[in-house]
Amino acid sequence: MIELSSVSYVYPGQACAALREANLDVKEGETLCLIGRNASGKSTLCKVAAGVLKPAAGSAKVDGLSVGEECTRIEIRRRVGFLQQDPESQFVSVTVEREIASGPENLGFSVPETRKIVEELLGFFDLAELRKRPPHALSGGQMQKVLLASLLAMRPKHLILDEPTSYLDPLERLCVGKELKRISSVLGTSVVWVTQFLNEALASPRMVAMEQGAICFDGSPAEFLSRHDIHSALGIESLERFLLPGPGLPRTMRFR
């Protein structure tokens, strides 16, 4: 369980708080989509929830472990899989398969187990042909798939994903969404998923919206649809374009 209570954060040298008294509970096996305008604090919230940033005020806990303390840091990192925004800056290995294997290897998974996980993920993400390629030489979408695969390979209890599908094409976005749903229900993984694609958010069971560092909405998509005050606060003029042909499909799919 991830528990943020009245969390605030100010970046060094900045006058404005990036995060203002944010409260958020994410239960085991729960999936939520985090939306909001640019610079509204989504990534900062992710960094706190992932144990990367220590809150300036308030408290953040992952499975009861306090974020920002030396003694809990390693344990929190082990439990939380965190995908950051810039794909290029997150690679540690020289080939795609080594990249995916590096997590389970470092966590002490056995060789056959690691191999099995890597093969499964290479297959699922359609990366088998690229296995010997350096991750840096891939396209943006392929990089994102490798990063997602390497994160899933570690079987984390919580996934914090900061725009994990932004460089993927519409069909791949749909597949990744389905897979995350499956993982969450089968393994009980909790998923916090930042997205700029409103249709992805509307298809998730819970939506959280941020504006100017504060959480301004936390509820179901059905509730979100009826909150016109929130729509205007978020600068969403019309929701209709995100609603066709049905939740779960990328909005571009309606051009079929």
Which residue number, 46 or 154, has a Cβ lying nearer to other proteins?
A: 46
CB of 240 to other proteins, least distance (A): 12
CB count within 10 Å of CB 225 equals: 15
Which residue number, 24 or 130, has a Cβ lying nearer to other proteins?
A: 130
CB of 147 to other proteins, least distance (A): 13
From candidates 181, 196, 212, 214, binder to other proteins by CB under 8 A:
196
Binding to other proteins in span 198-227, by CB under 8 A: 198
The verdict on 64 binding other proteins (CB under 8 A) reads no
Which residue intervals of the chain are DSSP H helices?
42-49, 73-79, 96-106, 111-124, 140-152, 170-187, 198-202, 221-226, 228-233, 240-243
Q: Which stretch binds other proteins (CB under 8 A): 65-73, 146-154, 161-169, 178-186?
A: 161-169
Which residue number, 88 or 113, has a Cβ lying nearer to other proteins?
A: 88
Task: Give which of 212, 193, 196 is closest to 204, Cα–Cα.
Answer: 193
Looking at this protein, which amino acid is placed at residue 87?
Answer: P
Q: Which stretch binds other proteins (CB under 8 A): 20-28, 35-43, 59-67, 98-106?
A: 35-43
The count of C-alpha atoms lying within 13 angstroms of the C-alpha of 112, restricted to the half-sphere facing its C-beta, is 0
From candidates 139, 185, 220, 226, binder to other proteins by CB under 8 A:
139
The verdict on 167 binding other proteins (CB under 8 A) reads yes
Which residue number, 78 or 241, has a Cβ lying nearer to other proteins?
A: 241
From candidates 138, 159, 176, 191, binder to other proteins by CB under 8 A:
138
Whether the Cβ atoms of residue 179 and residue 173 lie closer than 8 Å to each other:
no
The b/e string for 226-244 (b: 16+ C-beta within 10 A; e otherwise) is: eeeebbebbebeeeeebee
CA distance 45 to 23: 10
Whether the Cβ atoms of residue 217 and residue 227 lie closer than 8 Å to each other:
yes
Q: Which stretch binds other proteins (CB under 8 A): 26-34, 57-65, 146-154, 160-168?
A: 160-168
Helices and strands, counts by H and E, the chain: 10, 10
Whether the Cβ atoms of residue 44 and residue 21 lie closer than 8 Å to each other:
no
CB of 11 to other proteins, least distance (A): 7
Collect all residues with Cβ–Cβ distance below 8 Å to 254 and sequence separation of at least 6.
244, 245
CB of 5 to other proteins, least distance (A): 24
Interface positions with other proteins (CB under 8 A): 11, 13-14, 36-39, 43, 85-89, 132, 137-142, 145, 163, 166-172, 196, 198, 235-236, 241, 251-253, 255-256
